[in-house]
């Protein structure tokens, strides 16, 4: 049985001039599930992420984020900063976007600036005088330390983020996103540029986040060992439309998926291999 939907995408269409980058797309991503969005180049994956995170406003369709208190927030009506803060959707990027000159720890504290500023009641007096701010600061440091530990970065806490090896920077991006306490974590090609060992570590980290935090993860990924190895559901796009949806095993054997990737029905293992 599928878990309750966390994100429901309903009839989503996003056009650029005459081009439909996403076309009448519907699917759901469950709470406590890893949902992978795959498809050939130009299929509309990044456009979908940009609609979910408020960077684009779709012309048609609904994006509903179901909160544990029963509220269904309509993301397509919200600005990006409201989606991050109120709907609690966090995102990492294909091209890593850390503060490279800040330390690893500072990156994780800055991610929590909204909570800290709220605790200061947005005033200097609040910053200087209130126990409430000091408690919030303590909690922010504890949360940062927790995610440093979970991502294996504790030893690098004081190191400049930009000087970390690539695989560590990817994990730091995930730690930073988790410091915002998201309900939905959107990961844009988290395995890009990782070697097989780092990719294995990433799988382990993402499965741990799913199982322990019970949040939803939505990932765009081209590395099929990651997609087939850790996803609970796979959504396949081609030319902006949904062509398949199901478990990794169901999707891997789907003729439409094989055609979209290979242009012919032979040799699915070449592109859609992996564990699963």
Ligand X SMILES: Nc1ncnc2c1ncn2[C@@H]1O[C@H](COP(=O)(O)OP(=O)(O)OP(=O)(O)O)[C@@H](O)[C@H]1O
Q: What residues make contact with ligand X under the rule CB under 6 A?
A: 16, 19, 21, 39, 41-47
Give the integer Cα–Cα distance in Å for 97 and 75.
Answer: 23
How far does Cα 146 stand from its chain's mean position? 19
Residue 109 vs 220, nearer CB to ligand X: 220
Q: CB 188 → ligand X: shortest distance, Å? A: 8
| Helix H or strand E segment including 245 | strand 241-246
Residue 20 vs 112, nearer CB to ligand X: 20
Residue 44 vs 182, nearer CB to ligand X: 44
| Helix H or strand E segment including 228 | helix 224-230
- DSSP state at residue 90: E
Residue 21 vs 226, nearer CB to ligand X: 21
How far does Cα 130 stand from its chain's mean position? 35
Give the integer Cα–Cα distance in Å for 35 and 181.
Answer: 19
Give the integer Cα–Cα distance in Å for 201 and 194.
Answer: 10
Residue 86 vs 222, nearer CB to ligand X: 222
| Helix H or strand E segment including 127 | helix 124-129
Q: CB 261 → ligand X: shortest distance, Å? A: 12
Residue 43 vs 108, nearer CB to ligand X: 43
Q: CB 274 → ligand X: shortest distance, Å? A: 18
Q: CB 16 → ligand X: shortest distance, Å? A: 3
What is each CA distance from 83 to 101, 185, 268, in whole angstroms?
27, 12, 38
Q: CB 254 → ligand X: shortest distance, Å? A: 18
Alpha helices in 179-254 (DSSP H): 196-213, 224-230, 248-252
Report whether 33 contacts 213 (CB < 8 A): no
Residue 93 C-beta-side C-alpha neighbours within 13 Å: 7
Q: CB 267 → ligand X: shortest distance, Å? A: 21
Q: CB 37 → ligand X: shortest distance, Å? A: 8
- Tokens representing 2? 């599928």
Residue 272 C-beta-side C-alpha neighbours within 13 Å: 24
Give the integer Cα–Cα distance in Å for 83 and 182.
Answer: 10
Residue 28 vs 50, nearer CB to ligand X: 50
Residue 56 vs 133, nearer CB to ligand X: 56
């Amino acid at each position: 049985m599928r878990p309750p939907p966390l994100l429901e995408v309903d009839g989503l269409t996003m056009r650029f001039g005459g081009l439909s980058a996403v076309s009448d797309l519907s699917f759901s991503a469950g709470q406590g599930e890893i949902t992978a969005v795959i498809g050939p180049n130009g299929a509309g994956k990044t456009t979908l992420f940009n609609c979910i995170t408020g960077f684009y406003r779709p012309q048609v369709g609904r994006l509903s984020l179901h909160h544990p208190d029963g509220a269904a927030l309509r993301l397509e009506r919200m600005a990006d900063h409201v989606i991050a803060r109120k709907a609690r959707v966090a995102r990492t990027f294909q091209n890593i976007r850390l503060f490279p000159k800040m330390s690893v720890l500072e990156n994780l504290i800055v991610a929590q600036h909204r909570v800290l500023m709220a605790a200061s009641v947005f005033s200097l007096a609040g910053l200087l005088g209130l126990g409430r701010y000091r408690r919030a600061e303590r909690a922010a440091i504890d949360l940062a330390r927790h995610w440093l530990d979970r991502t294996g970065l504790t030893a690098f806490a004081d190191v400049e983020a930009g000087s970390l090896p690539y695989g560590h920077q990817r994990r730091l991006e995930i730690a930073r996103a988790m410091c915002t306490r998201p309900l939905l974590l959107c990961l844009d090609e988290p395995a890009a540029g990782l070697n097989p060992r780092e990719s294995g570590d990433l799988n382990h980290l993402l499965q741990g986040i799913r199982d322990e935090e019970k949040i939803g993860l939505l990932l765009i990924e081209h590395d099929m060992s990651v997609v087939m190895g850790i996803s609970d559901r796979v959504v396949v796009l081609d030319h902006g439309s949904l062509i398949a949806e199901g478990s990794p095993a169901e999707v891997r054997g789907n003729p439409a998926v094989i055609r979209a990737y290979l242009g012919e029905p032979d040799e699915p293992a070449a592109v859609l291999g992996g564990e699963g």
